[in-house]
Structure 1
Amino acid sequence: MIERRSFVRGAGLAGVLAAGSAPAIVHAQATLRWRVASSFPKSLDTIFGAGEVFAKKVGEMTGGKFQITVHAAGELMPPLGVVDGVQNGTVEACHTVPYYFFGKDPTFAIGAAIPFGLNSRQMSAWMFEGNGLKLMREFYDGYNIVNFPCGNTGAQMGGWFRKEIKSLDDMKGLKFRIGGFAGKIVERLGAVPQNLPGSEIYQALEKGTIDAAEWVGPYDDQKLGFYKVAPYYLYPGWWEGGPQVDLFINKKAYESLSAEYKAIVEAASAYAHVDMQAKYDARNPPALKQLVASNTKLIAFPKAIMDAAFKTSMEVYAELNSSNPAWKKIYSDYDAFRRDQNLWFRFTEARFDSFMQAQKL
């Protein structure tokens, strides 16, 4: 021991490194830096902010040794190019909504939201206690990705329309900005889906390039100013009962982490997952009041449209079960879980909520 200490003092750090005696010491002192490419603009402090919450928590739990910077949509790559960026290792991770990438494979959508799917609580239950996380990770492995739930908006609104929607006929030819997989359904209802990122929606709506647009809900929609150019605000967003936002990590980057850092990533993403929905649930009610005070017209989707959309959605899922093995494997599990969840919620959450919402408090 005395001889070793003398060697360390005499050789100095360079000598120790050359002798291969201190890699553990060096690694303990090294700072790890990652970049996260977001699909969202910085102005949306809820959905973009969840990425920042994640990064901050990782930094706090590692004493600043694991530093993550979050880059807004377009800063490093286009908002819909982030999966390619993670897949090829341009960035270590991205923060996005999986259904944006249904064009690669419709199965991506199940990891976020599909029309008439799970609500946010049910989605978290499927992910964390059901087979959701396991099944989606098996699927994403083919894209060189490891996924973590990292946010949920809760049930969304149905979007902003320049003209009132009274029947299915009003959907014909409607140029509707609608995210991801849901476009397949509205297209069969006669609308023309447009898959625009959030930062481009207002301008398109203002110029009349599109006739309608959905984003998230009152808090974000108010920030984006949609109420100024489209007065009709429809509900509910039947295609987004509980859309999950994910952290996608490059597989090689993730596997290079220590067991401790992997646990920290898991914990920080779970924290951000809960934090995002808490923010939306707290901020949407006052924002909705302000929108109504600004002459926004709240209108429920006509039942005929809801019924047609449901029927069409089930037809699309049946077609995918026949043509896409990855979809069939995951959707079969998802469908069974949804059935049991709806049975349970019918006697508990739904009944309690409907009673409470009818009360004058």
Structure 2
Amino acid sequence: MDRRSFIRKGALGGAAAAAAGLATPALAQSAPKVSWRLTSSFPKSLDTIYGAAETMANYVTKMTDGNFTIQVFSAGELVPGLQAADAAANGTVEACHTASYYYWGKDPTYALGTAVPFGLNARQQNGWFYYGNGNELLNEFYNAQGLHALPCGNTGAQMGGWYRKEINTPEDLKGLKMRIGGFAGKVLERLGGVPQQIAGGDIYPALEKGTIDATEWVGPYDDEKLGFYKVAPYYYYPGWWEGGACLHAMFNKAAWDSLPDAYKSVLTAACQAANSDMMASYDFKNPTSLKSLMANGAQLRPFSAEVLDACRKASDEVYAEITATNAPFKKIFDSQQAFKKDAYLWAQLSEYTFDTYQMIQQRNGTL
């Protein structure tokens, strides 16, 4: 090898080695090893809701080549299901997957992250979250609680629950002991009902023993798994308190802030993917489960217009009381209300007329 060739190759080799020496620490710094724990508010048996957290965590692992991992724990493994957000806020875990309205008792503003009576449906929620400044408005509130949150699943419009007796008029709600979450419990209370907040895994025993008279949960797929039809035959619709129930991945604010920007982007994308995935899963599974429930004796019942009107009136009264004294609630609620009016102006045209025509064909057997 001549001298010039040796020098040229040696210089190139040295430059490559130097570049490698510089690149490795930079890469390590941008993709550090991070291991988080996430506690869910849901049992593993509810694979669609619980599974959204696993879906999100799996995306995070794959998108970071295993450098950022999130271990998911079901309700009760680390903390009780209804204490998931508390555990994330105080740093017991770095994250949780929960329904924001479970924490309504601390501040009504929490309810606006999941669903409120006669509020946004699932598609409207996504429009408001991602393009209507919804995530930013909610995180102004969540950040003050030591949390940062992202939508991570939606059930769509829920059913109105399971009842031991028929509900024909608002009078039938008086004295009714019902497991019902969040804001809706306050409305039921105004109508003479007795709301109970019970975690998912504890509902069936309470209904079976008569501790409660009725319960709402989600919809056919999850409700069938929990077996409510065995002890309360009347299955009502719609769930006027949950036109679209959004679940959130909530992160300890300090833990979120400590992440590299790349990991924040990964988490954001993974949550959005899980959000879409849950809705698609329910849309596919609910029709089959509804037919199965009816074959096993479930009796479908629509809430009467009289009942819905009474619930709407009571809801508006509660809204007026809260917005008069709670500025964060009012700011977010007003934003949702303004968007809802425009959203329904549009939805009643193309979407509604198309779906209505198709539903008529289905009923006539010509679909």
Return the TM-score normalized by structure 2: 0.91
Amino acid at match of 1:218: P
CA RMSD across the alignment: 2.1
Choose the corresponding residue for 2:151, options 145, 149, 152.
Answer: 149
Structure 2 equivalent of residue 63 of structure 1: 65
Deviation at 1:255?
1.2
Structure 1 equivalent of residue 121 of structure 2: 119
Structure 1 equivalent of residue 5 of structure 2: none
Structure 1 equivalent of residue 91 of structure 2: 89
Q: Does 1:316 align with 2:314?
A: no
Distance in 2 of aligned mates of 1:305 and 1:89:
43
Equivalent residues of 1:47, 1:276 under 8 A apart = yes
Show CA shifts across 1:76-122 (max 9, x none). 10111111111111111100011111111101111110000000000
Distance in 2 of aligned mates of 1:307 and 1:85:
39
1:103 aligned counterpart, secondary structure? coil
1:54 aligned counterpart, secondary structure? helix
Amino acid at match of 1:282: F
Distance in 2 of aligned mates of 1:165 and 1:259:
52
* Greater Rg by CA: 2
Show CA shifts across 1:140-163 (max 9, x none). 110111111100000000000011
Distance in 2 of aligned mates of 1:217 and 1:30:
41
Choose the corresponding residue for 1:52, options 47, 51, 54.
Answer: 54
Equivalent residues of 2:30, 2:262 under 8 A apart = no
2:93 aligned counterpart, secondary structure? coil
Distance in 2 of aligned mates of 1:347 and 1:97:
32
Amino acid at match of 1:340: D
Structure 2 equivalent of residue 11 of structure 1: none
Q: Does 1:239 align with 2:257?
A: no
Deviation at 1:28?
6.5
Choose the corresponding residue for 2:342, options 340, 343, 355.
Answer: 340
Choose the corresponding residue for 1:74, options 50, 73, 76.
Answer: 76
Distance in 2 of aligned mates of 1:64 and 1:156:
36
Distance in 2 of aligned mates of 1:253 and 1:163:
48
Deviation at 1:73?
0.4
Show CA shifts across 1:149-204 (max 9, x none). 10000000000001111111111100000011110001111110001010000000
Choose the corresponding residue for 2:333, options 307, 331, 334.
Answer: 331
Deviation at 1:353?
1.8
Shift of the 281–25 alpha-carbon distance from structure 1 to 2, 3 Å rule, reads closer
Choose the corresponding residue for 1:270, options 269, 272, 275.
Answer: 272
1:237 aligned counterpart, secondary structure? coil
Shift of the 263–189 alpha-carbon distance from structure 1 to 2, 3 Å rule, reads same
1:86 aligned counterpart, secondary structure? helix
Shift of the 186–32 alpha-carbon distance from structure 1 to 2, 3 Å rule, reads same
Distance in 1 of aligned mates of 2:123 and 2:188:
25
Distance in 2 of aligned mates of 1:110 and 1:185:
15
Q: Does 1:180 align with 2:179?
A: no
Distance in 1 of aligned mates of 2:116 and 2:202:
23
Amino acid at match of 1:43: S
Amino acid at match of 1:45: D
Show CA shifts across 1:325-345 (max 9, x none). 111111111110111111111
Give 5+ residue unaligned stretches, structure 2.
1-9
Identity across aligned pairs (percent)? 54
Amino acid at match of 1:69: Q
1:80 aligned counterpart, secondary structure? helix
Shift of the 259–92 alpha-carbon distance from structure 1 to 2, 3 Å rule, reads same
Choose the corresponding residue for 2:298, options 274, 296, 299.
Answer: 296
Distance in 1 of aligned mates of 2:67 and 2:279:
28
Distance in 1 of aligned mates of 2:32 and 2:51:
27
Deviation at 1:352?
2.1
Structure 1 residue ranges (4+ consecutive) displaced by more than 6 angstroms after TM superposition: none
Distance in 2 of aligned mates of 1:350 and 1:184:
31
Amino acid at match of 1:196: I
Within a 5 Å distance, the mapping from 1:122-201 to structure 2 comes to 122-201=124-203
1:239 aligned counterpart, secondary structure? coil
Deviation at 1:316?
1.1
Q: Does 1:253 align with 2:255?
A: yes
Equivalent residues of 1:100, 1:181 under 8 A apart = no
Instruction: Tell me how many residue pairs correspond in the alignment.
Output: 350
1:323 aligned counterpart, secondary structure? coil
The farther-off stretch of 249-258 and 215-224 is 249-258
Equivalent residues of 2:31, 2:64 under 8 A apart = no
Structure 1 equivalent of residue 106 of structure 2: 104
Choose the corresponding residue for 2:281, options 279, 283, 286.
Answer: 279
Amino acid at match of 2:139: R
Structure 1 equivalent of residue 212 of structure 2: 210
Amino acid at match of 2:35: R
Structure 1 equivalent of residue 7 of structure 2: none
Structure 2 equivalent of residue 349 of structure 1: 351
Structure 1 equivalent of residue 39 of structure 2: 37
Give 5+ residue unaligned stretches, structure 1.
9-15
Shift of the 347–55 alpha-carbon distance from structure 1 to 2, 3 Å rule, reads same
Distance in 1 of aligned mates of 2:24 and 2:227:
57
Amino acid at match of 1:77: V
